[in-house]
Amino acid sequence: MSGCPIHQSSDRARAFDPFGPEFQADPPGSLAWAREGEPVFYSDVLNYWVVTRYEDVKAVFRDNITFSASVALEKMVPPTPEAIEILKTYAFDLRKTLVNEDEPVHMERRRALLDAFSPAALQGHEAMLRQLVRARVDAIVDQGEADLVKALLWEVPLTVALHFLGVPESDMEKLREFSVAHTLNVWGKPSDDQQEALAHGVGRFWAYCGVVLDRMKANPDGHGWMHDMIRANREIPEIVTDNYLHSMLMAIIVAAHETTALAGANMMRRMLGDRAAWTAVCRNPDLIPNAVEECLRHSGSQVAWRRMATRDTTVGGVPIPKGARLLIVSASGNHDPRQFENPDALDLWRDNAAAHLTFGYGAHQCMGKNLGRMELRVMLEELTRRLPHLELQDQNFHALPNVSFYGVDRVLVRWDPARNPERRNPALRDRNRRFPIGAPDVRVLTRALRVARLDPLAQGVLGLTLEDPEGAPLPAWSPGAHIDLHLPGDLTRKYSLCGENGAWSLAVLREDGGRGGSRWIHDTLREGDIVHTRGPRNHFRLDDSAPAHLLIAGGIGITPILAMADHLRARPHALHYAGRTRSGMALVDRVMRDHPGAHLWIGDEGTRMDLPALIAAAPRGAQVCVCGPARLIQGVEAACVPRPDLILTFEHFDPVDTALDPDREHAFTVELLDSDLTLTVPATRSLLDVLHETGIDVPCDCGEGLCGTCEIEVEAGGIDHRDRVLTRAERAEGRRMMACCSRAAGDRLKVRL
């Protein structure tokens, strides 16, 4: 099935070739143009629709009925007749292996095979993993130079995979060769001659798996996931069939090791390539779980995956015909600035790093993600602890040419063994950290910054400019972004960034009636002090595609609005800033200096903003951005009702009270349609807490209904909305809710998770 007759892709899009040097060298970078201008396009060269933005990639992953996984293991390049003949001689017959199955059979099998991935079961592999990594590091620790891929990054994941699967002692080199042949055969673009050689490699791999399987079947009490499958084959042969066992063994050896080995190589390349990041982890191993997540986001080993449309549909507004094949480029989604602030930078403190798409998403999301995470964490922990002075050698990086798996094949490093910390203190060798299984808890991750300057900005408003204590540059941020400031007494407050030229400057309004956070900043904080922050994050984004922007600020809400106005200087926009008194309005001089056309509305000078008139006069299709007190936001929302052409974006700073009073709340049931699970949310717990306890990774940022990170899609059931994110219209529609604070209005919800 080819492109859509209505949709016209650009020349660049039609010529897009993932086997070309740009994509092969830098998958997300090579699609930056598409993310910005043509996020879903048809490539004539590939005969695929290519999906590049985060939300669109996720939406395709999420809808496993409209988008079939059946093509996930299809060869990118059709086999030659000679290759087909060669494969026949090995009786090659790879068919279904979870990852390329559709419902209902996929979920039935997935459910039957889930136990081995529970946190308790995975914990059982940690000691062996630790010992293995330690032995591999022991082998090189005094050498002074090594290729980390050869030394441990591929062998550890392969050994762990075999241990997890229960596959007996195997010839590691042979398995590595087989995996490469399988990857190139399915996801590569081999020439006709190469196809023949690969067909032999793949055929031998298939035959080898048959022999191993027979040996395993002879041991009915064996441990490991393949043995679970062999037992399931005996108990439910109609669900776990003979061919299934054989196909699964071959696919899973690759799925369970190559993904992790390549991710490890990318991780070490990126971590050592960024000295500040490496040093930060050496000094503070608590960063490791999030560093792993950030490396999976920034340079994951799975860069693109495939689906097929089962009906005429749309993705990102682009019509996609039934039967069309889609290349969903998760690596591109992982660099989408709409989702990740400053996405091309490696930021170990990024607190939504775990929302990456490298493990896929939805019903097929990687079952082994927590095992992969555990391996990467242990490898990074051992290397940073034992070889903190490791350095990259000069080298060119190469990766196997294919569309899905990305990972460098060598990471050459050097170090001075005389500086190994365990030479001074041998006990360090065994003094490792342990990390809980699962996604990192980012709420404990803070960035220590120094207060570079304190400036009075208005009556009761103090300006803070922050800097890295070591002088390292701080990550860039986009207009509308904020950071969290951690304050004494377990308080956290959000402040928008409003500095010029990317400076991390905030404006803090003194609130005498509050819980004391702003008073502490005004009364106690001094220049040179260290503060702890999280972010930056942006839930209040400018839509650059809007033809015009109407910016409305009330009081201290000027901070993000001013950053937006700075960004829009050369584009059509209007800025309105309201306050009670001129002397209490922060940054008013800068507003008037840099934006002389801005409108000031000052209560005690007798001028008032006429919201209905402002909104009525807004250009067609404009984005209306408003930040200020709840009253102002409600006023703008009401004024926008007759103008559905406008895009309304707002930001509140007053958190929702998330305390749950059991006398006023009720328990409810939630059905997770994609995971085929039913959970009970007690009156005393949030829906998000219950999801996390079940191992469902719903990202959470603010935890108090302000940011929209924990949004989930609701299929059925009334919602008691308690967030400050959704508009009136979105609430009335009843399709989305914030899991951190909103609840079921009745006793049942059905959600797409």
Return the exposure string of 119-147: e unless at least 16 CB atoms fall within 10 Å of the residue's CB, then b: eebbeebbeebbebbbebbeebbeeeebb
Residue 725 interacts, among ligand FES, ligand HEM, none and using kind-specific CB cut-offs from 5 to 8 Å, with ligand FES
Which position's Cβ is nearest ligand HEM? 368
Query: Least distance from C-beta 1 to ligand HEM, angstroms?
Result: 21
Q: Out of 240, 633, 640, 725, point to the residue binding ligand FES (CB under 6 A).
A: 725
Residue 485 interacts, among ligand FES, ligand HEM, none and using kind-specific CB cut-offs from 5 to 8 Å, with none
Q: Taking CB under 6 A as the rule, does residue 585 contact ligand FES?
A: no
Amino acid at 139: A
Q: Taking CB under 6 A as the rule, does residue 259 contact ligand HEM?
A: yes
Residue 68 interacts, among ligand FES, ligand HEM, none and using kind-specific CB cut-offs from 5 to 8 Å, with none
Q: Taking CB under 6 A as the rule, does residue 535 contact ligand FES?
A: no
Q: Out of 356, 709, 717, 721, point to the residue binding ligand FES (CB under 6 A).
A: 709
Asked if the bond preceding 289 is cis, omega within 30° of 0, the reply is no
CA distance 53 to 36: 9
Nearer Cβ to ligand HEM, position 375 or 651? 375
Burial-class residue 413 by CB neighbours within 10 Å (0-12, 13-18, 19+). buried
Q: Taking CB under 6 A as the rule, does residue 365 contact ligand HEM?
A: yes
Residue 99 interacts, among ligand HEM, ligand FES, none and using kind-specific CB cut-offs from 5 to 8 Å, with ligand HEM
Query: Least distance from C-beta 372 to ligand HEM, angstroms?
Result: 3
Q: Taking CB under 6 A as the rule, does residue 110 contact ligand HEM?
A: yes
* Contact by Cβ (8 Å): 588, 577: yes
Report how many residues bind ligand FES under the rule CB under 6 A.
Answer: 14
Asked if the bond preceding 28 is cis, omega within 30° of 0, the reply is no
CA distance 208 to 651: 59
Q: Out of 565, 591, 737, 740, point to the residue binding ligand FES (CB under 6 A).
A: 740
Amino acid at 436: P
Interacting span for ligand FES (CB under 6 A) from 35-43, 299-307, 381-389, 695-703 = 695-703
Q: Taking CB under 6 A as the rule, does residue 347 contact ligand FES?
A: no
Q: Taking CB under 6 A as the rule, does residue 553 contact ligand FES?
A: no
Query: 340: which residues sit within 8 A by CB, 6+ positions away?
Result: 54, 297, 334, 350, 352, 353
Q: Taking CB under 6 A as the rule, does residue 260 contact ligand HEM?
A: yes
Residue 26 region by backbone torsions, left for phi larger than 0, else alpha for psi between -120 and 50, else beta: beta
| Spatial CA neighbour of 96 closest among 239, 307, 257 | 239
Q: Taking CB under 6 A as the rule, does residue 706 contact ligand FES?
A: yes
Give, rounded to a whole angstrom, the gap between the first and last alpha carbons of the chain. 30
Which residue bears the tokens 């650009």? 10
User: With the C-alpha atoms ordered 525, 529, 535, 537, is the resulting torsion angle positive or negative?
Assistant: positive
Residue 365 interacts, among ligand HEM, ligand FES, none and using kind-specific CB cut-offs from 5 to 8 Å, with ligand HEM
Q: Where are the alpha helices (DSSP H) in 188-241?
A: 192-217, 225-235
Interacting span for ligand FES (CB under 6 A) from 166-174, 481-489, 676-684, 694-702 = 694-702
CA distance 293 to 59: 21
Nearer Cβ to ligand HEM, position 368 or 699? 368
Q: Out of 702, 719, 749, 753, point to the residue binding ligand FES (CB under 6 A).
A: 702
Query: Least distance from C-beta 471 to ligand HEM, angstroms?
Result: 34
* Contact by Cβ (8 Å): 692, 686: no
Q: Taking CB under 6 A as the rule, does residue 714 contact ligand FES?
A: no
CA–CA–CA angle 278, 284, 285 (5° rounding): 85
| Spatial CA neighbour of 483 closest among 557, 540, 441, 534 | 534
Q: Out of 203, 343, 368, 463, point to the residue binding ligand HEM (CB under 6 A).
A: 368
Report how many residues bind ligand HEM under the rule CB under 6 A.
Answer: 27
Please give the backbone phi and psi of residue 479, each rounded to the nearest 5 degrees, phi first: -60, 135
The tokens of 594 are what? 């840099």
Q: Where are the alpha helices (DSSP H) in 678-733?
A: 687-693, 728-733
Q: Taking CB under 6 A as the rule, does residue 701 contact ligand FES?
A: yes
Residue 301 interacts, among ligand HEM, ligand FES, none and using kind-specific CB cut-offs from 5 to 8 Å, with ligand HEM
CA distance 220 to 218: 6
Q: Out of 705, 714, 736, 743, point to the residue binding ligand FES (CB under 6 A).
A: 705
Residue 707 interacts, among ligand FES, ligand HEM, none and using kind-specific CB cut-offs from 5 to 8 Å, with ligand FES
The two beta strands, 67-68 and 48-51, are unpaired
Kindly report the number of other CB atoms within 10 A of residue 709's CB atom. Answer: 21
Kindly report the number of other CB atoms within 10 A of residue 739's CB atom. Answer: 26
Residue 305 interacts, among ligand HEM, ligand FES, none and using kind-specific CB cut-offs from 5 to 8 Å, with ligand HEM
Interacting span for ligand HEM (CB under 6 A) from 137-145, 331-339, 355-363, 496-504 = 355-363
CA distance 545 to 604: 37
The tokens of 489 are what? 């007494």
Q: Out of 360, 560, 584, 628, point to the residue binding ligand HEM (CB under 6 A).
A: 360
Residue 364 interacts, among ligand FES, ligand HEM, none and using kind-specific CB cut-offs from 5 to 8 Å, with ligand HEM
Residue 255 interacts, among ligand HEM, ligand FES, none and using kind-specific CB cut-offs from 5 to 8 Å, with ligand HEM
Query: Least distance from C-beta 281 to ligand HEM, angstroms?
Result: 18
Helix (H) or strand (E) holding 95, with range, is none
Q: Out of 101, 155, 637, 723, point to the residue binding ligand FES (CB under 6 A).
A: 723
Residues that bind ligand HEM (CB under 6 A): 61, 69, 98-99, 110, 164, 255-256, 259-260, 263, 300-302, 305, 358-362, 364-368, 371-372
Please report, as ranges, the residues that interact with ligand FES according to CB under 6 A: 700-703, 705-710, 723, 725, 738, 740
